[in-house]
Amino acid sequence: MADVIAKSPARRRTKDAHAAVQTDNADYVTAAEAMKILNVRQQTLYAYVSRGLIRSIGQTGHKGRLYWRDDLKRLESRSLARHGHGAVAASAMNFGEPIIPTSVTEITPEGPRYRGRLATDLARARIPFEAVAQLLWTGMLNNSIFELEWPKRKPWQELNALIEASWRMQPGNLLDMFSIITLHLGGGMQPALRRGKKPAGEPVDLDMATAGIDIIQTLVGCCGLMSPRSHFKPMEAGQSVAQGILAALAVESTEINRESIEALLILLADHELSPATVAARVSASTGCTLHRCVVSGIAASTGSLTGQLYDRVEEFFDSGSTMQALMRRANTLLERGVAVPGFGHPIYPRGDPRARYMLDLARRRTDNSRQMNAIYQFVDQIAKEHGLLPRQEFGTVVLTRAMGLPRRTSGAISALARVAGWLAHVQEQRMYGTVLRPRARFVGSPVSTSS
């Protein structure tokens, strides 16, 4: 009797957690809920899992498995798509079939390919970020260090004053600062960069490469606001973008740190039609200036389901200093049907190659702390117990922590790197000369006409 009493609370907790999964906002659902969503039998559900169409994870203390809701919804949309063109378009908008032709980036099981070149190969070959940016913009890879050094421009007084005033009003939010500064860069405040004459006050759309370099270098200087000194630090002559970021953040420019920050910039430079890239392309299709297109991308990068994922990974790390503590936290989330932050990318069911490379770089370090080693052990353990594999947001936070970068800079570094990709997509979208305007399918109730 004592054994029964002792086990009952655990059984109740497992049963309650199992039931809690069956909610509309859970990331994972039970088999019963999965079959209900797809309107299929158990055998069909298992067949989808075995074919890699639906991801599932085991539950601690329970023999049943949980199923990834996004995969189920995507599969449901594809099934509905067979019934008409409208449903096909709706399905495509959720990690579905390709809808926009592009020659910039291709997603493959090995990760993104920039103009046909695998991003991880470019990082492994220690190609400078500047060369990768020009590859995205022009389709040509030039690895000559003499031709890759971007011209440096001294910051102008008005911009310095704006940065200082804006940061005093809203300290800590670097992505918002990126938006403010980019808008002003494109607002005609720097006459030396104008191409041709336009009426005073009218936004000036600069030569793309010149404008892109100016935006990236200015955002690098803004990273200094997150350093202990908390001030704008413009790039210096002879500095690469990677070196400029390390200097701005007051992090030692060691060989492994330079390799790591360069790899982050390259691996995050583009990822085909991410939500932020779609936002930039939509703005480009309507005729927005280059700077406003970039701001659209930055704004989409601040969402709770996009850029803020980096912060949630940071918070998850802060919840435990040992592998066991992190696993307990992960298991608690999974029992509630909530995804562990930074795991499971819809495009990479076998794991995000970018995260794998980032983690390899972090593990290579000889100065890893006890907590960093606990994180590496946690990655191995959660893969073993639940089959969960990290995505780039997790890898980015791990690598920036290993480097000693200030907290909450991962999302900003990602957006800074992605400027290179956004510019390439904006240029391509302008070539099409059409407005991106999908149609909506009305699902509301008609107004009653009864008297």
pLDDT, tens digit, for every residue of 113-152?
999 999 999 999 999 999 999 999 999 998 765 467 888 8
The pTM for the full model equals: 0.81
64-78, 218-232, 263-277, 291-305: segment of lowest average pLDDT: 64-78
End-to-end CA distance of the chain: 68
Greater confidence, 117 or 12?
117
Amino acid of residue 152: K
> CA separation (Å) from 48 to 56, 63, 125?
10, 19, 38
Please count the other Cβ atoms lying within 10 Å of the Cβ belonging to residue 34: 25
Average pLDDT in the chain: 84
pLDDT, tens only, 142-172 = 876 546 788 887 667 788 888 888 898 878 8
pLDDT given for residue 192 in this prediction: 44
In CATH, what is the architecture of 2-92? Orthogonal Bundle (1.10)
Tokens of 168: 């005093």
Residue ranges of domains in the chain: 2-92, 130-301+413-432, 308-403
CA 319 – CA 335 distance, rounded (Å): 17
Helix 323-335 vs helix 370-386: angle between axes, to the nearest 10 degrees? 40
Q: What is the mean pLDDT of residues 425-447?
A: 85
- Name the pLDDT band for 95 (thresholds 50, 70, 90): low
pLDDT at 197 over 70: no
CATH architecture group of domain 308-403: Orthogonal Bundle (1.10)
Torsion of CA 158, 163, 168, 169, to 10 degrees: 90
Task: Specify burial of residue 8 (Cβ count, 10 A radius: 0-12, 13-18, 19+).
Answer: exposed
**Gap between the Cα atoms of 407 and 169, Å rounded:** 20
Cross-strand partners of 67 = 29, 56
Q: For the beta carbon of residue 119, count every other beta carbon within 10 angstroms.
A: 26
Provide the pLDDT for residue 199.
Answer: 38
By CB atoms closer than 10 A (0-12, 13-18, 19+), residue 96 is middle
pLDDT on residue 370: 95
Q: Are 419 and 90 in contact (CB under 8 A)?
A: no
Instruction: Between 447 and 363, name the one with better pLDDT.
Output: 363
Q: Name the pairing type of β-strands 117-118 and 62-68.
A: unpaired
**pLDDT the model gives residue 18:** 45
Compute the half-sphere exposure of residue 257: CA atoms within 13 Å on the CB side of its CA.
20
Q: Would you say residue 429 has pLDDT above 70?
A: yes
User: 130-301+413-432 in CATH: which number?
Assistant: 1.10.580.10
